[in-house]
Amino acid sequence: MSFDCVVIGGGAAGMMAAIQCKENNMQTVIIEHTAKLGTKILKTGNGKCNFSNTFMTKEMYQNNNADYAMEIINRFNVDDTIHFFEGLSVYKKERNGYLYPRSEMAASVALALTGKIQALDIPVFFETSVKKIDRAGSEYVLQLEGAKTNTIKTKTVILACGSAASPSSGSDGSGYKLVRKLGVKVVKPLPALTALESDKKNMKLATGVRALGNVKIMVAGRVVAEDTGEIQFTDYGISGIPVFQVSRFAVRAMEEGQRVEALVDVAADIKEDDLLSMLKCAVNTRKHQSVSESLSGLFNKKLVMMICKDVGIEGNSSASDIDDDICQRLARYMKSLHYHITGYKGNDYAQVCQGGVDVSGLNYNLESVDNPGIFFAGELVDIDGRCGGYNLQWAWSSGVVAAKSAFDYCNRQE
Give the domain range for residue 73. 2-191+353-413
What confidence score (pLDDT) does residue 171 get? Answer: 84
Helix axes 301-311, 324-334, angle to 10 degrees: 110
pLDDT of residue 152: 97
* Pair 58, 85 in one domain: yes
Q: How far apart are the first and last CA of the chain?
A: 19
In this prediction, residue 69 carries a pLDDT of: 98
Amino acid identity, position 225: A
The helix/strand/coil state of 261 is strand
The model carries a pTM of: 0.95
Residue bearing the bigger pLDDT, 164 or 264:
264
Q: What integer pLDDT is reported at residue 145 of this predicted model?
A: 94
What b/e string do you get for 98-111 counting C-beta neighbours within 10 Å, with b at 16 or more? bbbbeeebbebbbb
104 touches 48 (CB < 8 A): yes
The number of domains in the chain is 2
pLDDT at 340: 98
β-strands 28-32, 2-8 pairing: parallel
Confidence at residue 414, expressed as pLDDT on a 0 to 100 scale: 75
Q: Are residues 367 and 341 in the same domain?
A: no
Q: Mean pLDDT, to the nearest integer, of 74-82?
A: 99
Query: Exposed/middle/buried for 66, CB within 10 Å: 0-12, 13-18, 19+?
Result: middle
Sign of torsion, CA 298 304 310 314?
positive
Please give the average per-residue pLDDT across 304-322, as a whole number: 95
Which of these three, 345, 364, 396, is where a domain ends?
Answer: 345
Q: In this predicted structure, what is the pLDDT of residue 148?
A: 86
- pLDDT tens for 198-225 read 999 999 999 999 999 999 999 999 999 9
Residue 351's closest CA among 37, 45, 9? 45
Between the CA atoms of 254, 258, 264 and 269, what dihedral angle is there, to the nearest 10 degrees?
Answer: -100
Helices (H), 37-191: 66-73, 78-86, 106-119, 174-181
Cα(21)–Cα(403) distance, integer angstroms: 5
Listed residues 316, 345, 374: the one ending a domain: 345
Same-domain status, 81 and 212:
no
User: Amino acid identity, residue 33?
Assistant: H
Supply the pLDDT for residue 398: 99
60 and 143 co-located in one domain: yes
Neighbours of 319 (CB within 10 A): 19
Per the document, the length of the chain is: 414
Which one-letter amino acid corresponds to residue 96? Answer: N
| Mean pLDDT of the region 286-305 | 96
**Same structural domain, 319 and 378:** no
Looking at the DSSP bridge assignments, the partners of residue 93 are 100
Tell me: do 149 and 167 sit in the same domain.
yes
Of 345, 379, 400, the last residue of a domain is: 345
Question: What is the rounded distance in angstroms from the CA atom of residue 186 to the CA atom of residue 175?
Answer: 11
Contact 18, 38 (CB under 8 A): no
State whether 164 and 199 are in the same domain: no
Q: By C-alpha distance, which of 21, 2, 37, 24 is closest to 124? A: 37
DSSP 341-358: EEEE--TTT-SEEEEEE-
Question: What pLDDT, in 10s, does the model give residues 342-394?
Answer: 999 999 999 999 999 999 999 999 999 999 999 999 999 999 999 999 999 99
305 with 374, same domain: the answer is no
- Same domain? For 272 and 143 the reply is no
Average pLDDT over residues 89-104: 97
Mean of the per-residue pLDDT values of the chain: 97
Q: Each residue of 39-77: pLDDT tens digit?
A: 999 989 889 999 999 999 999 999 899 999 999 999 999
pLDDT at 381: 98
| pLDDT at residue 189 is higher than 80 | yes
Q: Which residues have C-beta within 8 Å of that of residue 91, sequence separation ≥ 6? A: 85, 101, 102
- Per-residue confidence (pLDDT) for residue 168, from 0 to 100: 84
> For the domain that residue 145 is a member of, what is the CATH number?
3.50.50.60
Residues 247 and 339 in one domain: yes
Q: Rounded mean pLDDT of 108-126?
A: 98
Note the pLDDT of residue 413.
Answer: 87
**Shared domain check, 239 and 185:** no
Q: Are 153 and 107 contained in the same domain?
A: yes
Q: Using CA atoms, how far apart are residues 292 and 295, in angstroms rounded to an integer?
A: 5
**Contacts (Cβ under 8 Å, ≥6 apart) of 277:** none
- Quickly state the pLDDT bin for 320 (edges 50, 70, 90): very high
Confidence category of residue 1, pLDDT binned at 50, 70, 90: confident
Angstrom distance (rounded) from CA 193 to CA 6:
30
What mean pLDDT do residues 179-190 have?
96
Instruction: Give the integer Cα–Cα distance in Å for 248 and 37.
Output: 28
> pLDDT above 90 covers what percent of the chain?
95
Contact 122, 28 (CB under 8 A): yes
